[in-house]
Amino acid sequence: MGLVCRVAEESGISTVCISTGRDLTAQVKPPRSLFVNFPMGNAFGRPFDRDMQLRVLRAALALAEGATEAGVIVDLPAAWPQPFDFNPGAPGG
């Protein structure tokens, strides 16, 4: 996905990536990334949490408008209320 953003940007289309995997994003280096430290699959928060969904979107839009540094990763100052892990192939996938 970061690669797609890079290709878009090289073709003249601005991008902002909303990432839940900070180390993955740091490797690929999309042009602009908002890191949301929520579980993968919950990039915009919990179901029906309209306020958080809007907050993440607005932070991404502000980053798209304001970023001047290529490859920047901005951390959304929000925390998931419970500990979480990543288990690919587990129930729910």
Partner 1 sequence: MSTEFRGQAPIPYVSKLSDYYGAMGHPPYRWTVNDAAPLRPLPRPVRECRVTMLTSGGISLCAMPGFDPMARNDHRLDAIPADADSDDFQIHDAYYDHRDADRDLNCQFPIDRLRELRDQGEIGSLAPRFWSGFMGRIYDRSRVVEESAPAFVAELGKDEVDLLIAVPA
Site for partner 1 in 2-21 (CB under 8 A): 2-21
What b/e readout covers 51-82, taking b as 16+ CB neighbours within 10 angstroms? ebeebbeebbeebeeebeeeeebbebeeeeee
Q: For the segment 60-79, give every residue that binds partner 1 (CB under 8 A).
A: 60-62, 64-65, 67-71, 74-79
C-beta of 81: minimal distance to partner 1 in Å?
9
Rg (CA), the chain: 14
Residue list 32-61, contact with partner 1 (CB under 8 A) = 32, 35, 37, 39-50, 53-54, 56-58, 60-61
Please choose, from the candidates 70, 71, 85, 5, the residue with its C-alpha nearest in 3D space to the C-alpha of residue 39.
Answer: 85
Residue count, binding to partner 1 (CB under 8 A): 77
Q: At its nearest, how many Å lie between partner 1 and the CB of residue 38?
A: 9
